[in-house]
A = this chain, B = another copy of it.
Amino acid sequence: MSSCDLCVVRNRAICASLDAKELEALNAIGRTRKITPGESLIWEGEDSVLVANVIEGVLKLSTNTEDGREQIVGVVYPSDFIGRPFGGTSGHGVTALTEAKVCVFSRRDFDAFAREHPALEHKLLERTLGELDRTRRWMLLLGRKSAAEKMASFLLEMTERLGGNGCKLSFENPLQRQLTLPFSRQQIADVLGLTIETVSRQFTRLKNEGIIDLPSRRDVIILDMEALAAEAG
Q: How many copies does the complex hold?
A: 2
A139-B71 contact given A65-B145, A126-B86, CB 8 Å threshold: yes
Q: A71-B143, A121-B125, A143-B192 are in contact. List 6 more A-B contacts (CB 8 A).
A: A63-B136, A64-B140, A124-B125, A132-B135, A135-B135, A135-B136
**Are A65 and B121 in touch, CB under 8 angstroms?**
no
* A131 pairs with B132, CB closer than 8 A: yes
For chain A, the count of residues having a C-beta within 8 Å of the partner chain is 43
Of chain B, the residue at the smallest CB distance from A74 is B136
The answer to whether A86 touches B139, judged by C-beta atoms less than 8 angstroms apart, is no
B193 touches A129 (CB 8 A): no
Q: Does A67 interact with chain B (Cβ within 8 Å)?
A: yes
Is A61 part of the contact surface with B, judged by Cβ < 8 Å? Answer: yes
- Of B65, B74, B115, B137, which one neighbours A144 at CB under 8 angstroms? B65
* A193 CA / B73 CA spacing, docked (Å): 16
